Structure 1
Amino acid sequence: MAKILLSMIVSNDLGPVSRLLPIAQELSKRGHDLAFCNGAKAPSLVIREAGLKNMPVVPSQLPTVYPSEFSAEIWNGNQGSSYQGFLDIDFVRAIAQDYIKMMSDFNPDIIVDTWGLPACLAAKILKKPLVTITQADNHPDGKGYIWWRTTPPNLPNPVPVVNDVLKEHGLPLLKGKIEELLMGDMVLVVGTPDTDPLPDISQITYIGPLQVNSNVENLPDWILELPIQQPLVWVYSGNPRYGDEPSIADSIVIIRACVEVLGNEKMQVVLTTGHQPLPEEFATLPSNFHFAPYVPGFALARKSDLVIHHGGHGSYLTGLSAGTPAIIVPTYSERESNARRLTNLGAGEFVLPQTRDNGEKIISMDEFREKVWRVLGDSSYQQNAQNVAKNMQKYGGAIQAADLIESLAK
């Protein structure tokens, strides 16, 4: 049996860990020795609840070099990684060594990563077999996060810094995109050519969606006992607040909009936050709202008539694979990309937020209300979502991914 390390971008969100968890559970069933690497609070809780090992890396040094200006519009991986400190060569060197130490301690036979630049860099330095799990917008052959507009010049670019580190270790240099660092010996794309289009020349394997807890019977009794005469709407905000001050990633705008528009309507609303605390302003919710920090997503999406969420790639695929239409309130560029792909598939709508001077996001309540009732009332949205779900069944998901990982580990 193989020792397998599962690494990812470290953020207090469930998206990356939810992507890897189904693969980890399948590999664990086959007897492999697994360890995750993510020290953020919510992902750590999910890993612990799954009964799996976690070996988080504590950075020995924090970045001090950042772009002179931060923008809520993140066009591509180069710009996004510059906000994570990859313009600082001392930080890049240090975080690579931090991951090298952790990998040397665990000594995996293979590394499986999603979006984890430091882990991918360390794996390449150690010459460890690397499988990367990605999506179209994070692939070098993709069009970036804002593919419907022309990319502006002079965006922050950490590639020269990363290339200096690669050169120090005698490794091939990146040609111009940080996403090249995320390309392993094997590249698996979550989704399908419809949900995550890439050129035919790309050296990838589509594996379809990755889901955990697919049976509706896994849902809590209180959800199963909700009145079936009314529509069931699942509102998934993800992390409402990332800090004390408003940030570009905050999803509190979704909860505020849903409370105002859906409160006391003739529908049942299940609100979840992905193991994140519910802000105090929602201590009292409308009578038709039901809050839980976490509920098995795919099962709840299958049970629901409509999903309203922030546009994360995992949420985007969860709704589609369940055959349930969605309304997305995308909180930043990568999520707007997913929202636009959803509407292109005819499986939902999106409402773009605007940002006030104080950093808080707002949306048009009239537009949001109209689109909620439009999607609930027009069966074509559900039919289109079900067509996408049917096509997704052609792919092997976690079982296919585990098979491919095992083939590289041998």
Structure 2
Amino acid sequence: MKKVFLQFGSGLGPMSRSLPIAEGLQREGYIVKYFGFENAKPYMNKMGIEELSENFNIKDIKKGVQTPNWYCAEQFWEIIGYGNIEWVEKKVEELIEYLRDFSPDFIISDLGILSCIAARIMDIPLIAITQSCYHPNIAFGRIRWWEEEQNLKFTLTEKLNNYFKKKGVPQLNSFEEIFTGRLTIIPSFPEFDPINNPSEFNTYYVGPILWDPLDMAKEEYIKLFNRNKNKPTIFCYTARFCDNVGESGIIIFKTLLSALKEFDANIIFSTGSDSDRKIAKEILNSYGIDEEKFSIIDWVPMGIAYGNSDVVIHHGGHGSCLGQFLYEVPSLIIPTHTEREYNARICTNMGVSKFIKREDIEKADILAEIDEILTNSSFKERLHFWHAKLNEYEFTGVNKVLELIQKL
């Protein structure tokens, strides 16, 4: 019986595309163990997927100066703590010990840099799940393609290469190569995630993979989307209040509270976690806003939220953007860091969204932006076009991933 170790990045986004793959592997008879973050554990446990070890964690990571406007993946991973190569080496060696005990046939990484490093050192086949902005052959040449290229120098690639040299492992030509493997998966489609020459890193588009368990929706949350049918329904997804670049979700929440307090609509906020939901309610009360004006929930399946909304406001996460194409719902995007601005700009260019830069949200006319999305039929028309395009590709998602893994 084959074994697989899975590591995914922080937030619910990476988990929502990793979990269906893990479920698929379990159905095929694989033993799957994972390493993820605290907010993902309840969902992984519910699906019967075990942690590699309860003792392995990265709670001692020390982050650098947080900034939403980073210029490349190397800088981002440096500022979230991986620039401390001594800590990285220590954690990789610790992970390797656990992996030796488990002895996986494959390692799957969804932007989990420690497992990418460990797979190379242990010479275990790596299946890398990534996005175009983190792929070495990104079509635009760099992630912040809308600005002049910055001549900034970072040291993480050099540090990793020195570590690989000590271990007798091939060097990286660019930092983004760390997120490629013997098999590289982009859970998306080419127009939204453009790269050049996919064959160079054995890269395959498999279509959107989004965990959407409708049976896990709370009944009281479903009812929220079915009330006030004479008013538009606005679903606002803040995501984590505090993430790798600071108070991202709080910024979105507070801005929208002020902007939408007089808007006549059915407005539902989702924070993604119960702890942030409680903070949101405290903020709402401190603003003196009646709780009847806004509904504040933790998490709801995308099929419920997107499928029953007229407009979605979100932070620009990869899965949040892809959901628009599946459910044909337009959005207003407030991207909270560079990767999400990359996604937001592509969605805007595809004609399915509008976006407001994080630094412009206080002066933006959010109500006017929402009104245009609600009244301009071109957004729905473009979504219908891209939805049809997705169907033409005949992607099979998880089934394609399983097929590719079985060929390794």
TM-score, with length taken from structure 2: 0.89
Give how far 1:242 is off.
4.3
Amino acid at match of 2:283: E
Letter in 2 for 1:237: T
Distance 1:116 1:42 in 2: 16
Residue number in structure 2 paired with 1:324: 329
Greater shift after overlay, 381-390 or 107-116? 381-390
Alignment of 1:56-75 (within 5 A): 58=56, 62=60, 71-75=67-71
Q: Partner letter of residue 179 of structure 1?
A: E
Q: Which one is further off, 15-24 or 344-353?
A: 15-24
Q: Which runs of 5+ in 1 are unaligned?
A: 355-361
Q: Does 1:377 align with 2:375?
A: yes
Q: Which residue of 2 aligns with 1:357?
A: none
Task: Assess, with a 3 A threshold, how the Cα gap between structure 1 residues 323 and 169 changes in structure 2: closer, same or farther.
Answer: same
Instruction: Indicate the percent of aligned positions where both proteins have the same amino acid.
Output: 25
Distance in 1 (alpha carbons) for counterparts of 2:403 and 2:218: 29
Whole-angstrom CA distance in 1 between matches of 2:58 and 2:4: 24
The structural deviation recorded for 1:348 is: 0.8
> Aligned residue for 2:349?
344
* CA gap 1:228/1:5 in 2 versus in 1, 3 angstroms: same
Determine whether 1:232 maps to 2:256: no
The 8 Å contact of residues 231 and 304 in structure 1, kept in 2 or not, is answered as yes
Q: Does 1:271 align with 2:269?
A: yes
Equivalents in 2 of 1:248, 1:205: separation in Å?
33
User: Matched residues in 1 for 2:58 and 2:297: separation?
Assistant: 36
* Cα distance, 1:406–1:291 mapped onto 2, change above 3 Å: farther
Matches within 5 A, 1:9-408: 9=9, 11=10, 13-38=11-36, 40-55=37-52, 58=56, 62=60, 71-142=67-138, 143-175=141-173, 177-201=174-198, 202=200, 203-213=202-212, 220=219, 221-223=222-224, 225-242=226-243, 247-248=245-246, 250-275=248-273, 276-278=275-277, 279=279, 280-283=282-285, 286-354=291-359, 363-364=361-362, 366-393=364-391, 394-408=394-408
Deviation at 1:70, TM superposition (A): 5.5
Partners of 2:300 and 2:232 in 1: CA distance:
18
8 Å CA contact 1:87, 1:157 repeated in 2 = yes
Kept in 2, the 8 Å contact 1:249–1:331? The answer is no
Residues 285 and 240 from structure 1, CA distance in 2 versus in 1: closer, same or farther, beyond 3 angstroms? farther
Equivalents in 2 of 1:373, 1:52: separation in Å?
44
Q: Tell me, what secondary structure is at the counterpart of 1:83?
A: helix
1:261-284, CA deviations, whole angstroms, 9 ceiling, x for partnerless residues? 333533212211111523221245
Deviation sequence 1:134-181 (CA, Å, 0-9, x none): 100000111333111122113323111100111111111111x22111
Question: What secondary structure, in the 3-state scheme, does the structure 2 residue paired with 1:187 have?
Answer: strand
- CA distance in 2 between partners of 1:224 and 1:371 (Å): 22
TM-score, normalisation: structure 1 = 0.88
Instruction: State the alpha-carbon separation in 2 of the partners of residues 350 and 109 from structure 1.
Output: 43
SS of the aligned residue for 1:330 comes to coil
Q: Which amino acid aligns with 2:284?
A: F
Q: In terms of mean alpha carbon deviation, does 84-93 or 28-37 score higher?
A: 84-93
Question: Aligned pairs, how many?
Answer: 392
Moved more, 376-385 or 133-142: 376-385
RMSD of aligned alpha carbons: 2.4
SS in 1 for 2:51: coil
Structure 1 segments (4+ residues) deviating >6 Å: none
Mapped partners of 2:382, 2:331: distance in 1: 11
Equivalent position SS for 1:251? helix
Q: Deviations over 1:210-253 (max 9, x none)?
A: 1223659957341353232221211110011349xxx5452212
SS of the residue corresponding to residue 277 of structure 1 reads helix
- In the aligned structure 2, how far is the partner of 1:369 from the partner of 1:205? 40
TM-aligned CA deviation for residue 297 of structure 1: 1.6
